[in-house]
Structure 1
Amino acid sequence: MFLKSHAFNVFLCTLIFCIIHYDISQNRNILDQYGVEYFCIATKHIPNPQKLCLVCYDEKHFTEFCFSIAKSECHHLNRTICNSCLFHHVEQAFQITFTDDVYCPELDCDVKFDYNTVRTILSFNRDKKLVERYDRFVLHRQLEQMDEFIWCSNKLCNVGQLNEGGILNNIVTCFQCQQKTCFRHRVEWHQGLTCEEYDQFIDFDYECSRRWIVEHSKKCPNCPYQIEKNDGCDHMTCIKCRHEFCWACLADFQLIRRYGNHRHDQTCRHYAPNE
């Protein structure tokens, strides 16, 4: 009877051990699958919980690699770049190139981060103004894709607004500078002419070219050369005179780089007060 009881206890303990070991292995596999380091769970049990960052080449604590940036499209299981370097990568992409097209910096990954991932990474340094500026930038990008959105035709104003009714309401009055803009032609309102009369008054081919230029290019603030904007970045360089400027407000980018984003025009979506 004693032998039977002892054998049963040994069997029960072995079974419990196998279940626990299987559960831990499964959890680690799941964490690895989503790019989360399981070392973050109990680093106090690791004698030297350090890991080398492949960007700054500093030994960092394992908690610097805990935030999971991996999505199902990512090509890496675990992170090799620390939180600090990841933050600077995203911050540089947003503040210097003025784009929200930010890609995963891990080796051979290059997956585009979504809005929530970029916002979370920008929150690493607890800079609320930086996060708010990113939110405002994304909002402006979304507004520009709306059919009823229009920018003021006054180049010195640089304010946009939604035109309720769209094409049915051709005269849009800017709430900032009060200039009237033709919603159909995207020019200052042609006083004394309806849109149909304006179409007859101007050459059709010329108008198509002019509208394309208005929508896709701007005159360099340093020379008369027209510059086309063909991607999402607002940091522009004139190919004629090499002058660098902000596409949104035409501010000198050398001054922005040297002194900060308060050198943008105050109505610019990239403007940030000097701290």
Structure 2
Amino acid sequence: MLEVRNLHKAYRGGDDVLHGINFEVQPGEFVVVLGQSGAGKSTLLRCLNYLCLPSGGEIRVNGVRHNPASKSGRQAQRRHFAMVFQDHNLLGRLSVLKNVLVGRMSHIPFWSCLFQVFSRRDVALALQAIETVGLAEKAYERADSLSGGQQQRVGVARALVQRPAMMLADEPVASLDPQSARQVLNCLQNACRREKIAVVCNLHQLDYAMEYASRVIGLAGGKVVYDGPPESMTPQVVEAIYPGVAQNKSASIPETGAGGALCRNIPLAGAV
């Protein structure tokens, strides 16, 4: 279980990016974080695994707070998490299999990493993860021969072999077409359901949040303005997350009702 208590983040010489963030995430939850650009979504994810050090507050995993000020504390924190980035971060000249095996490097000796020597168990885990994301036939092909959506699924497989308690996905489908985006989100959702891995996923697309999230956290100005199930989101909630959407002439927000009808009637591409 992840517990975030009174989390603050301020960059040197600047204003606070996050203001007193509080929430919990249970195993198997698919949490989507929604918000405008600059709302603090990426900073929040990076604070969770100490890629970005919090300025205040506490982050506990299974009741334990690791000290972000120490190298050992940061390393211990990061063992709980796997990260899926927007831009894949693959090594194009290497095979899909070797890219996925990169996710095992924190579990093996340095010399094994240096000479790319992996155990049969690690290779089996990697091949299983590649099959899980639907790319078994691509395992020995170069990563740069794959489409953008396929490369992102390789990124998900690389995260899965880390055997994390939680996966953090920062705008993983921002540059993908709808079909590829849903394939990637399906992979993340399956990890949630089958492996009981919690997922915290930053998204811009409200319709994907309504379709995949078991819970939505809405950020605005570095503060949580909504935390609840997607079906309970009202037009007023969407306006709190995306200020000004209701005044956008291209937006059609129903006066009553929520859920899927709401997301289908709000074109947010220009709002985020």
The two structures share one fold, judged by TM-score above 0.5: no
TM-score, length basis structure 2: 0.29
TM-score, length basis structure 1: 0.29
Q: Which has the higher strand share?
A: 2
